[in-house]
Amino acid sequence: MVATMLTSCGISKTDAPQSDDFDYTVEQFADLQILRYKVKDFENLSLKQKELIYYLSQAALEGRDILFDQNGKYNLIIRKMLETVYTDYEGDRADTNFVNMETYLKRVWFSNGIHHHYASDKFVPGFSQEFFKKALQSVDSAKLPLMEGQTLDQLCDEIFPVIFDPKVMPKRVNQADGEDLVLTSASNYYEGVTQKEAEDFYNAMKNPNDTMPVMFGMNSRLVKENGKIFEKTWKIGGLYGPAIEKIVYWLRMASTVAETGEQTAAIEKLIQFYKDGDLKTFDEYAILWVKDLNSRIDFVNGFTESYGDPLGMKASWESIVNFKDLEATHRTETISKNAQWFEDHSPVDLRFKKEEVKGVSAKVITAAMLGGDLYPSTAIGINLPNSNWIRSVHGSKSVTIGNLTDAYNKAAHGNGFNEEFVYSQAERDLLDKYADLTGDLHTDLHECLGHGSGQLLPGVDQDALKAYGSTIEEARADLFGLYYLPDAKLVDLGLTPNKEAYKAEYYTYMMNGLMTQLVRIELGNDVEEAHMRNRQLIAKWAFEKGKPDNVVELVKKDGKTYVKINDYEKLRGLFGQLLAEIQRIKSEGDFAAARQLVEDYAVKVDPKLHEEVLARYEKLHLSPYKGFVNPVYEVVTNDSGEVTDVKISYTEGYAQQMLRYSREYANLPYRNE
């Protein structure tokens, strides 16, 4: 609902590189890679804007402990035990037990708890209980999270099963049908209540006639104490109060340098919500936030994502601070402004064209700070608020986060992917030069023009293509972009640097669709996901139809298969032909033709090629999950204490940053009851 993850709509970015001298990679462990993102243009913001970002960034970091506690009631205790051993242990740090404990701690930091951030399974520690106990005994007990009167033995007896026993709290979020999802989930949103009790509690609150319902349960833990079920609300004076007070302190500072009246109003309302915990106040805030459109700087700070609650009500705390990327937004605006030209010149039948077409202008933002559930693992798009009635009455904000996508792309440079899969140095040079740019541009054309182009013939049912509808729709949007990428119009508009650049996206697209996207599919399976089907449909269709002219080939070198494009211009012609046909299918609601295209080209996989691709990919040892460290902001003041500048730096390492956050933003007690 909230976040566009990497795999959702949009064009697959393979690992197309482009280099600059910024170091995008930090480190790699377990199944994770830590990256760094660049806050492009921060230096060019005004002092007031920099100050605003600084205050909002502080507010983004102050809530870190909230998420740890939301993800599991022992997470803050376990983090402190691990960190103390990690920093103070004087035994052999090269010992396997210690090394594996370090990896475990790094995973706990990444997941904000002891369960995998994505799969939600509990981590299996690669170190022994004996080692950990001895290590804990060797450090200063004043630094350990002991309750008053508690001995270290008692602490270990309490906590070790949580870490070491696979049967204790095995899943953060259990979705297994038929089980009590509340009792069997380790996330800390309910205490002492069953799923039925929780559902009954909230069903009793709902009024089916309310057209403006608040999001019940969003900002509280539901508990049963002395036989009574009630909410412990997250607010100042309530649960998580100490962290929220700090957040509010920085929001107040932010309010003094806000860019517009709308922004001030939104910040003030958020402060009010953190104080009263009233969900009506939250809705008022969400409406003010949606209306704040003229500020360059924007932020999310609050209880937002509900994926961590098996019942989908309780929201995890997160924050992102960002500002509008003027250059990239200019690009999407340029495309939008020329939407009619593109519609008029597309190769589809006149009957299927819109007489009047409106482009969608997507805002591209630059992330300046990530916090809570957006850190270190993050989204590349944001679409908020979540409340359905607010979305339909007041609208929503939908943005893509350009500098994070960019960091993913750049970090892929030199990871060996292109060296392994791209046919020759000539293609690799082409991709180095243009692939990032043309990849982004293809996404923009897809989003701003592709989906909005064309029309259904009168009387044709929207859902006529049924299960094939989304694959056909994604193919239509992709083809619209592919067809126009080589067009001289794009050079005229300044969107591409020359008439050659598009070849980078053509090569990437064909390689991905014919071969490399198969790395995401298990051997023996078909292509299922709509975007992947669409890409294979387009690539395979063009490959097959181009055979008489040898437009695209699959060639073997040293026993390995490669994509080789022999005629880029003819390939464009094929994309145009397929666009015309796909638009016809859509406009006429031709179900039989949709089914045939999808089944013939998009679903089946050559098992031999699949096996080869998987084997080649595995040898590269690429991490399936990625996350980011944040930059560090530092305020510069003059003799009279006035802020004269805010400096940004990118040198902090992963463990260094995590330990600093645990020190500087340790806002909650180890136990929050």
Q: How far is the CB of 660 from Zn ion (least distance, A)?
A: 40
Q: Tell me the chain's radius of gyration from C-alpha atoms.
A: 27
In this structure, which amino acid lies at residue 396? Answer: S
**Nearer Cβ to Zn ion, position 306 or 471?**
471
CA distance 11 to 130: 50
Q: How far is the CB of 360 from Zn ion (least distance, A)?
A: 11
Q: How far is the CB of 447 from Zn ion (least distance, A)?
A: 7
Q: How far is the CB of 8 from Zn ion (least distance, A)?
A: 9
How many other C-beta atoms can be found within 10 angstroms of the C-beta atom of residue 634?
10
The label of the residue with tokens 């994309």 reads 575
- Order across the sheet with 3-4: list the strands: 3-4, 381-384, 397-401, 363-372, 316-324, 297-305
One symbol per residue from 407 to 426: x for binding Zn ion (CB under 5 A), - otherwise; what is it?
A: --------------------
**Nearer Cβ to Zn ion, position 313 or 472?**
472
For residues 76-105, which are near Zn ion according to CB under 5 A?
none
One symbol per residue from 449 to 488: x for binding Zn ion (CB under 5 A), - otherwise; what is it?
A: ----------------------------x-----------
Buried b (16+ CB within 10 A) or exposed e, 509-524: bbbbbbbbbbbebeee
Q: Does 360 bind Zn ion (CB under 5 A)?
A: no
Retrieve residue 320's tokens: 């992102």
Q: Which stretch binds Zn ion (CB under 5 A): 7-15, 276-284, 299-307, 647-655?
A: 7-15
Which of 6, 9, 223, 493 touches Zn ion by CB under 5 A?
9
- Cross-strand pairs, 633: 648
**Nearer Cβ to Zn ion, position 63 or 381?**
381
Which residues does 149 contact at the CB level (< 8 Å), separation at least 6? none
Q: How far is the CB of 450 from Zn ion (least distance, A)?
A: 7
**Nearer Cβ to Zn ion, position 477 or 646?**
477
Q: How far is the CB of 33 from Zn ion (least distance, A)?
A: 27
**Nearer Cβ to Zn ion, position 32 or 579?**
579
Q: How far is the CB of 2 from Zn ion (least distance, A)?
A: 18
Question: Residue 211, by phi and psi: left (phi above 0), alpha (psi -120 to 50) or beta?
Answer: alpha
CA angle at 270 for the pair 326 and 298, rounded to the nearest 5°: 5
**Nearer Cβ to Zn ion, position 279 or 449?**
449
In this structure, which amino acid lies at residue 28? Answer: Q
Query: How far lies 526's CA from each of 106, 521, 535, in Å?
Result: 35, 8, 14
**Nearer Cβ to Zn ion, position 35 or 477?**
477
> Which residue is at the shortest CB distance from Zn ion?
9
Q: How far is the CB of 470 from Zn ion (least distance, A)?
A: 9
**Contact between residue 269 and residue 282 where contact means Cβ atoms under 8 Å apart:** no
**Nearer Cβ to Zn ion, position 4 or 25?**
4
Q: Which stretch binds Zn ion (CB under 5 A): 5-13, 35-43, 88-96, 580-588?
A: 5-13
**Nearer Cβ to Zn ion, position 9 or 99?**
9
H/E stretch holding 76: helix 75-88
Q: How far is the CB of 469 from Zn ion (least distance, A)?
A: 12
Q: How far is the CB of 533 from Zn ion (least distance, A)?
A: 13
**Nearer Cβ to Zn ion, position 362 or 477?**
477
CA angle at 85 for the pair 83 and 90, rounded to the nearest 5°: 140
Q: Is the peptide bond before 548 cis (omega within 30 degrees of 0)?
A: no
Q: Which stretch binds Zn ion (CB under 5 A): 2-10, 182-190, 219-227, 363-371?
A: 2-10
Closest by CA position to 35, among listed 46, 25, 50: 25
> Where do contacts with Zn ion occur on this chain (CB under 5 A)?
9, 477
